[in-house]
Structure 1
Amino acid sequence: MLNKKDVAPPSLLNKLVSLTTIRDIELFEFSLLKTLAELLSINQISMYKLDQTNATCWLSTYSIDLIQDDSKRQLSESQEIYTSEITIPEEIKSAQLWMETTRKPYIHYQGDRYLVVYPILAANKIEEMLTFELPHPLTEGEMLIISSLLSITHNFRSLLDESQKDKLTGLLNRQTFEVNIKKISALTVGPDVGQDHDGNILNRRRPKVETEKFCLAIIDIDDFKSINDRFGHIMGDEVLLLLSYVMKQNFRARDLLFRFGGEEFVVIFRAPDKEEAYKALERFRNRIQEYHFPQIETVTISMGATLINELNYLASEIIGRADQALYHAKQNGKNQLHFYENLLENGYVFDKKETSTTDFF
């Protein structure tokens, strides 16, 4: 029997119905935090999303009284949801080790509070961790709520992943690109822009926050047709898999990695300026050049990049600029990185709204 601290089943079912109407993974995760906070009657709950290196993570927090500061940024229409990149705290590392060893949630008594950490699994690996504090031990009803909600949302999220990710590489597919550009634009064009659950831009005023800066790059494997012709399509698929693996290792957990089909990939990542963006992309280009691909040995890539800002946030314009820079790289020796802005300044390309001849959408 549920006591007064627990939630009646109809309330849980209503929350599940609301959650499963969301088709955006990031908004789904944020809504999960808010739903659990409401069901457990707690003031704050966080999600640690682990990076590939397991050294840093993205911390997303829902709180009914969270005060915004310069190190945190608002990512949804709700004023209570914030996220920031941090080094994984030692206690969270300990909790992760405990959960990987015991396959059980981590519960630690701290004075008059209980720290609770629940794992969120992907392919039997801890990908995210939910954390919150309670003034009392978890009741059976509360554990049932958490385990049931996480089990159902895990299955639902798997369905979202299946529809939004490339079957071969596990990266985002091209169908999700425009929705993600709309999400990025909401962060770059300023505080008067919001989004609904489908990623559509809404003109709603939000608390003023500093806009973020992003870079988009198109990545193309040099001479990929020759690789398929010489080594066969199985080895060609192996190259695609290994390149996507290096991408995941090189970029951060919150960066957006896409496979557009064939040998073409796209990455969207946060960068304070063009110089830092160039360093990140050059590091990735060099890692691919130095990586040992079985039988093939050396594979190189060409890249075209552009910055995303308040004057340049339409999907067709952004991809068109990066595509011009990629074309220049391919025509001038391959295994190169070029920024559209540099090429424009030096007269190698011209400023047109839609210059790409590639059909992306």
Structure 2
Amino acid sequence: MLNKKDAAPPSLLNKLVSLTTIRDVELFEFSLLKTLAELLSIHQISMYKLDQFNTTCWLSTYSANLIQDDDKRQFSESQEIYTSEIMIPEEIKSAQLWIETTKKPYIHYQEDRYLVVYPILSLNKVEGMLTFELSHSLTEGEMLIISSLLSITHNFCSLLDESQKDKLTGLLNRQTFEANIKKINALTLSSDINQDHDGSELNRRRLKVETGKFCLAIIDIDDFKSINDQFGHIMGDEVLLLLSYVMKQNFRARDLLFRFGGEEFVVIFRVSDKEEAYKVLERFRNKIQEYRFPQIDSVTISMGATLINELNYLASEIIGRADQALYHAKQNGKNQLHFYESLLENGFILEKKETSALNFF
């Protein structure tokens, strides 16, 4: 017979069980912030995810209201997450330098508060930082909670990454595409998200992001079969790797980059309007055209793009619109970018209520 002490596992274990039911990296990160806030009884905690150039970062902040009742601190049901792309604050840069030099968390005492910055590591490199404030110095128990959760987070996110990434290029695989389209449609329609994930409630929250539109573009390497035939499949794989490298350099950390298989890639990114999207994609097309690929020298790409809006909810419809624009680019000389909306407006293509151009799902 169990004692009362044995009747339920420790709170930390309950939290870990809840965390590891999540199969979405962003939801996992948000749930991690919530979990740490509750375990450490702090009002607000932030995560800075650094870009590869250490100039900008994505800031996610979890905030929860605390109710004071007979010296007991309780979390209210009102919880929010704010996320935005910002320049890295100078204080965070200082904390990063301290962490990389000393291999220790950054703790700074100021105005009766302790600012705590913990590194989020990937392959021994600081890829992000957790920050929060305390009225007291960290106890050994609190440090153990943070380090344990971050260690598990690193391992679990690595497993999630492996299941969601293309083995050759490291980009997202096409199996993750539809799930990402659903999230984007939710953001396009409303900033209010109420979501249960695999039976684990993530509580009511509002995901506040930049305003704007989403653009989807299909990228296809011109004459890729002839590259494989002339130079062999090893060099063909090298082209795919280098193209994915240029993609990562050209687009932002939070833009969604997919390899759909073969020589076809997809990118989804946020823009203010179609004109901005055109500039971004044309810049990328020119980067590829100017890039010197070993042995092959010059490679070009064709692109078809469309805006994601409240009128196209289905992944198959969105990808079908972009595919029609890509087909037009291929049929009219290659090494071109075309938007579905512009082709439709100018009468080059006819609108289809249902598209079966590509069957990915």
TM-score (norm 2): 0.89
Identity score, percent = 88
Question: Which residue matches 1:121?
Answer: 121
Query: Which letter does structure 2 place at the counterpart of 1:309?
Result: N
Match of 1:301 in 2: 301
Q: Which residue of 2 aligns with 1:63?
A: 63
For residues 242 and 249 of structure 1, do their structure 2 counterparts lie closer, same or farther at Cα, with a shift above 3 Å needed?
same
Matches of 2:187 and 2:40 in 1, distance apart?
31
Q: What code does the residue aligned with 2:28 have?
A: F
Separation (CA, whole Å) in 2 of partners of 1:273 and 1:65: 37
Specify the alignment match of 1:222 in structure 2.
Answer: 222
CA distance in 1 between counterparts of 2:79 and 2:38 reads 16
Q: 2:231 — aligned with what? A: 231
Change over 3 Å in CA distance of 1:42–1:171 after alignment to 2: same
Contact kept? 2:193, 2:207, Cα under 8 Å: no
Aligned partners of 2:99 and 2:106 also within 8 Å? yes
Q: 1:26 to 1:257 in 2, by over 3 A?
A: same
**Equivalent residue number for residue 319 of structure 2:** 319
Whole-Å Cα distance in 1 between the matches of residues 28 and 283 of structure 2? Answer: 32
**Alignment partner of 1:265 is 2:256:** no
Note closer, same or farther for the CA distance 1:205–1:32 as it changes in structure 2 (3 Å cut): closer
Partners of 2:56 and 2:208 lie apart in 1 by: 27
* Residue 212 of structure 1: how far off its partner (Å): 4.0
Deviations 1:210-229 (A, max 9, x none): 86410000011111111111
Return the letter of the residue paired with 2:105: P
Distance 1:146 1:108, change over 3 A: same
CA distance in 2, matches of 1:139, 1:205: 30
Aligned to 2:149: 149
SS at match of 1:64: strand
> Unpaired segments of 5 or more residues in structure 1?
1-7, 67-76, 199-203
User: Corresponding residue for 2:252?
Assistant: 252
**1:251 Cα deviation (Å)?**
1.0
Over residues 51-87 of structure 1, what are the superposed CA-to-partner deviations in whole Å (9 max), with x where a residue is unaligned?
Answer: 2222111100001159xxxxxxxxxx97511101100
Relative to structure 1, is the Cα distance of residues 181 and 94 closer, same or farther in structure 2, using a 3 angstrom cutoff? same
- Kindly state the Cα deviation for residue 206 of structure 1 after the two structures are TM-superposed: 6.8
Find the counterpart in structure 2 of residue 70 from structure 1.
Answer: none
Between 1:99-108 and 1:299-308, the stretch displaced more is 99-108
For residues 337 and 209 of structure 1, do their structure 2 counterparts lie closer, same or farther at Cα, with a shift above 3 Å needed?
closer
Q: Distance in 2 between matches of 1:314 and 1:144?
A: 45
More strand by share: 2
Q: Do structure 1's residue 15 and structure 2's residue 15 form an aligned pair?
A: yes
Quote the Cα distance in structure 2 between the aligned partners of 1:210 and 1:270: 9
**8 Å Cα contact 1:53/1:249 also seen in 2:** no
Matched AA of 1:157: C
> 1:208: how far off?
10
Q: Secondary structure at the match of 1:80?
A: strand
Tell me the alpha carbon deviations over residues 138-161 of structure 1, each in whole angstroms, 9 at most, x when there is no partner.
Answer: 111111000011111211111111
| 1:114-133 CA-partner distances (Å, limit 9, x unpaired) | 11111112232222211111
- Write the distance in 2 (CA, Å) between the matches of 1:18 and 1:143: 21
When Rg is computed on C-alpha atoms for both structures, the one with the higher figure is 2
Moved more, 17-26 or 89-98: 89-98
Cα distance, 1:283 vs structure 2: 1.0
- Which residue pairs with 2:87 in the alignment? 87
CA RMSD between the two structures: 2.4
- Code of the residue aligned with 1:266 in structure 2: it is V
SS at match of 1:23: coil
Structure 2 CA distance for aligned equivalents of residues 269 and 31 of structure 1: 24
The answer to whether the aligner puts 1:28 opposite 2:50 as a matched pair is no
Q: Distance in 1 between matches of 2:329 and 2:127?
A: 36
Equivalence for 2:163? 163
Q: Is the Cα–Cα contact under 8 Å of residues 186 and 193 in structure 2 kept in the other structure?
A: yes
Aligned to 2:201: none
- By how many angstroms is 1:96 displaced? 1.5
Count matched residues: 340
CA distance change for structure 1 residues 107 and 171 in 2, over 3 Å: closer, same or farther? same
Provide the C-alpha distance between the structure 1 equivalents of 2:226 and 2:110, rounded to a whole number of angstroms: 61
Gaps of 5+ in 2: 1-7, 67-76, 199-203
> d(CA) in 2 for partners of 1:323 and 1:79?
40
CA distance in 2, matches of 1:93, 1:205: 29
Distance in 1, matches of 2:209 and 2:271, equals 17
User: Is the CA contact 1:289–1:299 (under 8 Å) kept in the aligned structure 2?
Assistant: yes
Structure 2 Cα separation of the partners of residues 328 and 60 of structure 1: 40
State how 1:183-194 maps to structure 2 within 5 Å. 183-190=183-190, 194=194
**2:302–2:337 contact (8 Å) kept in structure 1:** yes
Q: 3-state DSSP class of the match of 1:57?
A: strand
Aligned to 1:73: none
Once the two structures are TM-superposed, the CA of residue 136 in structure 1 deviates from its matched residue by 1.4
- C-alpha distance 346-78 of structure 1, shift in aligned 2 (>3 A): farther
Amino acid in the other structure paired with 1:288 = I
TM superposition score normalised by structure 1:
0.89
CA 1:157/1:209 → structure 2, altered by over 3 Å: closer, same or farther? closer
Kept after mapping to 2: 8 A contact 1:329/1:338 = yes
